[in-house]
Amino acid sequence: MREIVLDTETTGFEPENGDRVVEIGAVELANHMPTGRTFHKYINPERSMPQDAFEVHGLGDDFLRGQPLFRDVAQEFLEFVQDAKLVIHNAAFDMKFLNAELGWLKMPLLPWEQAVDTLALARRKFPGSPASLDALCRRFAIDNSTRTLHGALLDSEILAEVYLELIGGRQPDFALSAMHHSGDNKKGAEADWRPHPRPVPLPSRLTEAEAAAHADFVAGMGDDALWKGLT
């Protein structure tokens, strides 16, 4: 199973008001394990950066002016994503911006059902608790000390760790994956596997003094004691 953990940075909150994507970061997972493949682009938004947005991610006009436009990276982005599930924290925000950018270029949009929202997952799993990325890092003891500013690729890498914890811990399907890749000729044997008795029983850890004390205790319980039949 292929998944893409994804994050964006933008100039603001509403593409309909002229806000644009300025950074895309994505990390590829295969069977819930990072493959090492990533996608990362800074993007020239063709507009000035509002101060409040700059304070969030630190991407200013001078830096972004020399970056490619969204239309220059859109096809590469779609080819990287393909039909993989998109794991996104607050997916509605990022999907809204990405589809706005793609729509302006008359390119295929990302289906909403392709997204997995980790914010919604966290709220279902921990109702009433903080569900921000930083809060989830604290909950799962994930090191996010390098996250002084928001950054799409760094946040995607951190989110990948958070996501694996949310769905049940790292390598949640390790045993199933191992069986799946072990070869068709072994599947039946592994499915029917049962533990065998030890060839030599383990020695008792009960001392003679402890055994005698137990026998005396049971004797004092009377002839009808249930323990009489178990000694």
CATH number of the domain to which 139 belongs: 3.30.420.10
Q: Is residue 202 part of a domain?
A: no
Please give the structure tokens belonging to residue 50: 């509002």
More confident residue, 217 or 49: 49
Tell me the C-alpha distance between 19 and 52, whole Å: 13
Q: Is residue 103 part of a domain?
A: yes
Q: Is residue 220 part of a domain?
A: no
Q: Is residue 194 part of a domain?
A: no
Structure confidence at residue 203 as a pLDDT band (50, 70, 90): low
Q: What is the pLDDT of residue 204?
A: 63
Helix axes 70-81, 91-104, angle to 10 degrees: 120
β-strand 85-88 against 115-117: which pairing, if any? parallel
The mean-pLDDT minimum among 5-14, 117-126, 172-181, 196-205 falls in 172-181
Residue 180 has pLDDT above 60, yes or no: no
What is the distance of C-alpha 29 from the center of its chain? 9
Structure confidence at residue 163 as a pLDDT band (50, 70, 90): very high
Least Cα distance to 139 among 116, 161, 172 occurs for 161
Q: What is the pLDDT of residue 139?
A: 96
Q: Is residue 195 part of a domain?
A: no
Q: Is residue 188 part of a domain?
A: no
Residue 175 has pLDDT above 60, yes or no: no
pLDDT digits (tens, 9 = 90+) for 118-141: 999 999 999 999 999 999 999 999
Q: Is residue 221 part of a domain?
A: no
Please provide the distance, in angstroms rounded to a whole number, between the alpha carbons at the two ends of the chain: 54
Tell me the C-alpha distance between 166 and 34, whole Å: 16
Amino acid at 18: G
Domain that holds residue 163: 2-176
Q: Is residue 214 part of a domain?
A: no
Question: Would you say 68 and 101 are in contact if contact means Cβ atoms under 8 Å apart?
Answer: no
Q: Which entry of 32, 57, 89, 150 is annotated as an active-site residue? A: 150
- For the chain, the domain total comes to 1
Known catalytic membership, residue 150: yes
Token look-up 């003094």 returns 209
